[in-house]
């Protein structure tokens, strides 16, 4: 059984959006995992084989217990019954308590499709009669990584101690962020991507009074039992 499962459209999506949170949870003793829905085979740089190999190297940096790629079609990801059932089957086998999904709106259609597929697969995974070979399991909590969404986060995770390792995991993708001529006009270089992600993490960290943070959104109301011990100063 997993404690935390991140589901993303492409290799390197998780590293950009919630890698620090995965690292923090792993250090806290939780079992974490990643499912990439596609291998990014329509990308300008690299190949599916290279990107999957890079994702496995990144997984070691992120200290996840398990990572796999479902090889759904990149750049034409569709919310089909076959796709939902494939993912639901894996959710039933991995049995995560909490699932991280991409925010449900975005520039890249694959990202919001991954959010749709992930949410519906989580629901289907809890239906007893949908699959006679695996036990039903529905995650308790779904949270949405919102670092690229122009929305107010429901909460922010302090990743100050894990930011550099998160960057190391992302830069494991040398086919995407290394000194490659192909597509150089479209891709920022390593220094620029580091500056951009540091600036974003600093912004969200500042919201909670720390150096670096990762933002998340939940659809349901959050419960608080002790208003006296709430973190983050008001004044």
CA distances from 168 to 58, 173, 202, 210 (A): 8, 9, 17, 20
Query: Is the pLDDT assigned to residue 178 strictly greater than 70?
Result: yes
Query: Over the chain, what is the mean pLDDT?
Result: 95
The Cα 91–Cα 88 span in angstroms is 5
The Cα 115–Cα 132 span in angstroms is 26
Residue range 68-93: mean pLDDT, rounded:
97
- What per-residue confidence (pLDDT) applies to 20? 98
Query: Is the pLDDT assigned to residue 183 strictly greater than 60?
Result: no
The stretches of the chain forming alpha helices (DSSP H) are 13-17, 19-27, 48-62, 81-94, 109-124, 163-170, 174-177, 190-207
pLDDT in tens, 135-157: 999 999 999 999 999 999 999 99
pLDDT in tens, 104-137: 999 999 999 999 999 999 999 999 999 889 999 9
Query: Is the pLDDT assigned to residue 35 strictly greater than 70?
Result: yes
The Cα 167–Cα 190 span in angstroms is 10
Residue range 29-53: mean pLDDT, rounded:
93
For residue 199, the tally of other CB atoms under 10 A from its CB is 9
Query: Is the pLDDT assigned to residue 185 strictly greater than 70?
Result: no
CA atoms within 13 A on the CB side of 78: 5
- What per-residue confidence (pLDDT) applies to 181? 65
The Cα 84–Cα 68 span in angstroms is 16
Q: What percent of the chain has pLDDT over 90?
A: 88
pLDDT classification of 190: cutoffs 50, 70, 90: confident
- What per-residue confidence (pLDDT) applies to 132? 87
Its pTM stands at 0.95
- What per-residue confidence (pLDDT) applies to 179? 76
* Largest pairwise CA distance in the chain: 56
For residue 197, the tally of other CB atoms under 10 A from its CB is 20
In the chain the domains, ranked by start, together with CATH numbers, are 4-217 (3.40.50.10320)
Looking at the DSSP bridge assignments, the partners of residue 72 are 38
The Cα 215–Cα 146 span in angstroms is 6
CB 23 within 8 A of CB 165: yes
User: Tokens 């059984």 map to which residue?
Assistant: 1
C-alpha closest to that of 133 among 97, 92, 188: 92
Helix (H, G, I), strand (E, B) or coil at 33: strand
The Cα 215–Cα 111 span in angstroms is 16
């Amino acid at each position: 059984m997993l404690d935390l499962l991140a589901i993303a459209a492409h290799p390197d999506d998780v590293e950009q959006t919630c890698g620090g949170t995965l690292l923090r949870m792993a250090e806290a003793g939780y079992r974490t995992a990643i499912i990439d829905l596609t291998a990014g085979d329509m990308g300008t740089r690299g190949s599916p084989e290279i990107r999957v190999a890079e994702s496995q190297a990144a997984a070691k940096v992120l200290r996840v217990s398990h990572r796999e790629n479902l090889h759904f079609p990149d750049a034409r990801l569709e919310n089909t019954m076959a796709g939902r059932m494939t993912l639901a089957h894996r959710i039933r086998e991995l049995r995560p308590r909490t699932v991280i999904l991409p925010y449900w709106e975005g520039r890249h259609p694959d990202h919001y499709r991954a959010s749709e597929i992930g949410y519906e697969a989580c629901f289907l995974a809890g239906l007893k009669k949908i699959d006679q070979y695996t036990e039903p399991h529905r995650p308790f909590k779904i949270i949405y990584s919102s670092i690229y969404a122009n929305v107010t986060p429901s909460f922010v995770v302090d990743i100050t101690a894990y930011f550099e390792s998160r960057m190391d995991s992302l830069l494991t993708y040398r086919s995407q962020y290394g000194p490659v001529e192909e597509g150089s006009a479209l891709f920022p270089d390593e220094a620029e991507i580091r500056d951009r992600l540091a600036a974003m993490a600093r912004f969200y960290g500042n919201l909670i009074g720390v150096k670096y943070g990762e933002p998340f959104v939940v659809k349901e109301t959050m419960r608080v039992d002790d208003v006296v011990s709430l973190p983050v100063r008001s004044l």
